[in-house]
Amino acid sequence: MSAATTLTTTPAPVAEETPGGTRRRRRGLSPGRSLPAARLIGPLLLLALWAAASAAGQLDPGAIPAPWTVVETGARLWTDGTLTDDVLTSLQRAASGFAIGLTAGVALALASGLSRVGEALIDGTVNLNRAIPTLGLIPLFILWLGIGETFKIAIIAIVVYIPIYLNTHAALSGIDSRFVELAEVQGLNRFRFIRQIVVPGALPGFFVGLRLGVTGSWLGLVVLEQINATSGLGYMMFQAQNYGQSDVILVGLVVYGIFGLASDSAVRLIERRVLSWRRTLSS
């Protein structure tokens, strides 16, 4: 059992007797755990309002097509293979940049959080990078890396690694000093200290950064795929803008939104499984 689980205490729910003699827990102020499907209520409500406004003629079809028009356009693009190729290209770019950014963010956070020398060399540099608008680096990266795929992946990696580094480093810095004292008392070596103290203590912050990084990779991709690209969802939307095809633009936005929501939900599911030992309001 890790020290994080040993020292973390949470008041147990109060048990009370029911008229039948059984005992049940009283949640008190805890909101309880929400079902994953409950997060779809907001998007579905927004979709219903959009459909109702379109059916009532309150929206200009040329500017904001009806949901069924967007679905028909998406089905047509999928059937002729255009949407399939663009989706696969965007997924490849996002996955490559995310993998590089994830590796860099974790490695730099560990080097900075576990070493004074590392913190002196890395933390200030990363915060300087954070202060510079990432999209403002595009012209410089084009000069360095050319206008092909490399600079797009590099920009996505920067968008991803910054939140992962910041949240993981903050979690490492915020580990309770009592855990460190307990490790010293138990005589843990450095490897066991990292495995039993550092990793459990940093995981909550890491997952926060991971969620921001996942969504950030899609946000950066929207802009990057409109710069000298010949395929991808952003390129499809840029071409649709030139021809005034608002339905195609909405298809791209819906696909981006679906991928963003699905990837965020996947991270939350992994977080719930990995951090099942942690007692929170939602658990």
Q: Which residues neighbour 2 within 8 Å (Cβ) at sequence distance 6 or greater?
A: 195, 196, 197, 200, 277
Q: How confident is the model at residue 33 (pLDDT cuts 50, 70, 90)?
A: low
**Quick one: pLDDT at residue 7?**
42
pLDDT digits (tens, 9 = 90+) for 240-269: 988 888 999 999 999 998 898 899 989 999
Task: For residue 210, count other CB atoms closer than 10 A to its CB.
Answer: 26
Give me the mean pLDDT over the 49-72 stretch: 89
pLDDT digits (tens, 9 = 90+) for 6-17: 444 444 444 455
Amino acid at 112: S
pLDDT digits (tens, 9 = 90+) for 178-187: 777 777 777 7
Buried b (16+ CB within 10 A) or exposed e, 113-125: beeeeebeebbee
**Quick one: pLDDT at residue 98?**
94
Phi and psi at residue 244, to the nearest 5°: 65, 30
**Quick one: pLDDT at residue 94?**
92
Give me the mean pLDDT over the 205-217 stretch: 92
Phi and psi at residue 130, to the nearest 5°: -65, -30
% of the chain at pLDDT higher than 90: 36
In the predicted structure, residue 276 carries a pLDDT above the cut 50: yes
Task: Please give the CATH architecture assigned to the domain spanning 63-274.
Answer: Orthogonal Bundle (1.10)
CB-based burial of residue 259 (10 Å sphere; 0-12 exposed, 13-18 middle, 19+ buried)? buried
**Quick one: pLDDT at residue 248?**
93
Ranges of each domain in the chain: 63-274
Task: Please state, rounded to an integer, the average pLDDT across all residues of the chain.
Answer: 82
Cβ contact 55:70 at 8 Å = no
Q: Nearest CA to 275 among 207, 210, 213, 176?
A: 207
pLDDT digits (tens, 9 = 90+) for 62-80: 888 989 999 999 999 999 8
Cβ contact 3:197 at 8 Å = yes
